[in-house]
Structure 1
């Protein structure tokens, strides 16, 4: 994963607010993989996650003039992605796909394919069965490495609620 320099992100956000397309392009390449991965953990479908990722960055660009540079641009981006994921899951029936098997194939550690698929399926079902907010906290904390305070900002909930979930 790419190490992201917070000073560079702040610089890019200032340029994006001024409608600098090159800055937005760099920002996109910095955050696209993590946004995709976050969304994929919600929808377990590569095509849907790609679509939602694009939509996230489009909304971010369209609202760039409203960026508050004193707040976290990363948190704002994840908040857009989170809201899109929630709206998508409300509109579509929940289904577990095996596209996640391909996505995680490189993470195997010597287990047989069958054992791995059963384990992954159980894992996906467990994560998918979590209540929406709890699942979001879990994914942001365990997979995306956010601190509790950042998660609270992204989800618009109190720090105590994040800790409780």
Structure 2
């Protein structure tokens, strides 16, 4: 298949021609997945997010007249969807954690919880210095990426990279439930 340009893709999609969807996939799937990794640290989740975006784009074909750059629209949509995903996770994992401690106490005794908490903090201390500082700022102090970047004298993208590395290292050495017991 010849690679279609944006205009050809949009015309084919609006006509209901699946070649337009295939052209969209060929042109943008991998770049959008890589872009999503700037926000989330799972390639599988990035793929799911992009596939869902393409499905919705296909389902809405012909219903709205598309103006502007398809590329800009897609990248903006991915960024929006990633942020939405992060916010939904943060609300579950980090906000109001006190409400979940009662549920966890049924599974773990307070001594076991304290041991797990100590193990978590020991693993945090093993992180490379910048990763540790970023993790502490974002997760423990509940700072926004921009705030942490300003505090540490880093770019926002560097903060995101350090956080992803810290989370990956912690996940590999700890059970995920420990991340819920941070506070």
| TM-score w.r.t. length of structure 2 | 0.47
Distance in structure 2 (CA, Å) of the matches to 1:67 and 1:76: 14
Partner residue of 1:59 out of 56, 59, 81:
56
What CA RMSD, in Å, does the superposition of the two structures yield over aligned residues?
3.6
Q: Report what 1:18 is aligned to.
A: 15
Give the 3 Å change call, closer, same or farther, for CA 18–91 of structure 1 in structure 2: same
Shift of 1:69: 4.2
Please tell me whether the aligned partners of residues 59 and 80 of structure 1 are also in contact (alpha carbons under 8 angstroms): no
Structure 2 spans left out of the alignment, 5+ residues: 94-126, 139-143, 150-155, 158-183
Q: Report what 2:40 is aligned to.
A: 43
Please tell me whether the aligned partners of residues 40 and 46 of structure 1 are also in contact (alpha carbons under 8 angstroms): yes
2:95 matched to 1:80?
no
Partner residue of 1:130 out of 138, 145, 151:
145
Distance in structure 2 (CA, Å) of the matches to 1:15 and 1:119: 51
Shift of 1:85: 0.8
2:68 matched to 1:71?
yes
Shift of 1:67: 4.6
Number of aligned residue pairs: 108
Shift of 1:25: 0.7
Structure 1 spans left out of the alignment, 5+ residues: 96-116, 140-165
Please tell me whether the aligned partners of residues 16 and 23 of structure 1 are also in contact (alpha carbons under 8 angstroms): yes
| TM-score w.r.t. length of structure 1 | 0.52
Shift of 1:28: 0.9
